[in-house]
Amino acid sequence: MKITLEEAVEKLMAAKKLLITAHVNPDGDAIGSTLALAAFLRGRGKEATVMIDDRVPKNLLFLPGSDKIVRPEEGKKADAELLVILDTSPDRIGEVEKAAAGLPVLNLDHHISNDGKADFLYNDNRAAAAEIIFEIVDRFGGEFTPDVATPIYTGLATDTGFFKFSNTRPETLRAAARLLEAGVRPEKVSEALEEKPEALVRGQAAALQTMELSYGGRVAGLYLDRELATSLDTTEGFIDFVRVIEGVDIAVLVKCMDENFCRVSVRSKGLDVSKVAMKFGGGGHIRAAGFSVKKPLAEAKKDVLEALGEVLK
C-alpha cells in the first residue's frame, strides 16, 4: 500500500523497537540512509537496529554507527515490531527477510522501479534514500547531529556522484547545504570514500585489462572473473572508467561472484537501461541500473549484451 511521508513517520513513531535494513551489496546510500534513520530514531527514544546481509564496505566504516551494524544469523529472529527497508524493494535484503519474517514492512525508497510489495511504501523519485531521511529529520523535529548529518550527506554524495549526476536537483543541494551548516566536513567524507588500498588500485588495473567494446563502440564493458571479482573489496566507480570513453552510450560491469552467479551494473548517458534491469529481475533508474544473472560469466555476458543491443535499437 502506498502511503505519504506523514503516514510513514507515524508508522516509525508508533513502534518502539525497529529493525532497519537496505539492499545487499550496500553502497553509501544504503549504509548512510539506514544509519541516519537509526540515529534519528534513537534520538526519539527508540531501539533501532541496522541489519544488513553483507559486509559494510571498508570505505564506509568512518560513518558513525557503522560498527553497530549487525548481520542476520541463521535461525535467529530479530526482536523488533517493524521492519524498515530503505533504498530497495523488499526482494533485495537477502537473509534479513528470514530474520524479520512476520514483521510488518515499511519501505522508503527512491527507485521508480520499486515493486510495491511492502505492506507500506513511501516511494518518491529523489536523488537518494538519504534525501527522504533528510526530509523526515527536517520536517519531524529531528536534529542534524553528526551521527545523522554525516550519513545523510554520504548517501546524497554517493548516489549523485558527488552532485554530478542528473539526479542532483535543487532540493538535493539545499539538503547538502543544510548538512554543511550542521557541521558536515565534505572533504572528510570524500577523502574517506575515495581512499583506496594499494591492492584495489592494482585490481582496477586488472579490471581495465578486461575492457571490451561492443556494438561499434557504443557499449563498453568490464567483465571480471570470479577470482578477480571476489578478490576486490569494492568495484564502486569501476564502471566510470569505461563510461567516459568517446562514443560510448552504455557502460556495463559484469562480476562473476560464484560459479553460476554474476552481478551486473549498467550506466547510460540517456538510454533507458532500467528496462534491462527489470528484464533480469533487478531495479534502478533510466541511467543507472543493477541486477544479477544466475549464469557463468561468459553466458551472463552474452545475455546482458543481447539485452543491451535491444536498448540501442
Which residues of this protein are in contact with Mn ion, per CB under 5 A?
A: 29, 87, 128-129, 159
Give dist(CA 201, CA 297) in Å, integer.
23
Give dist(CA 148, CA 220) in Å, integer.
38
Cβ 28 to Mn ion shortest distance, Å: 8
Question: 139 is written with which cell numbers?
Answer: 520536517
Pairing outcome for strands 17-21 and 82-86:
parallel
Give dist(CA 192, CA 60) in Å, integer.
7
146/161 with CB nearer Mn ion: 161
Cβ 127 to Mn ion shortest distance, Å: 8
Q: What is the 3-class SS of 156-201, one letter each residue?
A: HHHHCCCCCCCCCCHHHHHHHHHHHHCCCCHHHHHHHHHCCCHHHH
66/228 with CB nearer Mn ion: 66
29/54 with CB nearer Mn ion: 29
Burial of 107 (0-12, 13-18, 19+ CB in 10 A): buried
Give dist(CA 273, CA 278) in Å, integer.
9
Strand order of the sheet with strand 283-284?
212-214, 219-224, 250-258, 261-268, 288-293, 283-284
19/128 with CB nearer Mn ion: 128
Cβ 247 to Mn ion shortest distance, Å: 29
Cβ 260 to Mn ion shortest distance, Å: 27
Q: Cβ-closest residue to Mn ion? A: 29
Cβ 110 to Mn ion shortest distance, Å: 6
Using alpha carbons only, give the angle 97, 101, 105 rounded to the nearest 5 degrees.
75
Contact 282, 262 (CB under 8 A): no
54/87 with CB nearer Mn ion: 87
61/112 with CB nearer Mn ion: 112
Cβ 227 to Mn ion shortest distance, Å: 29
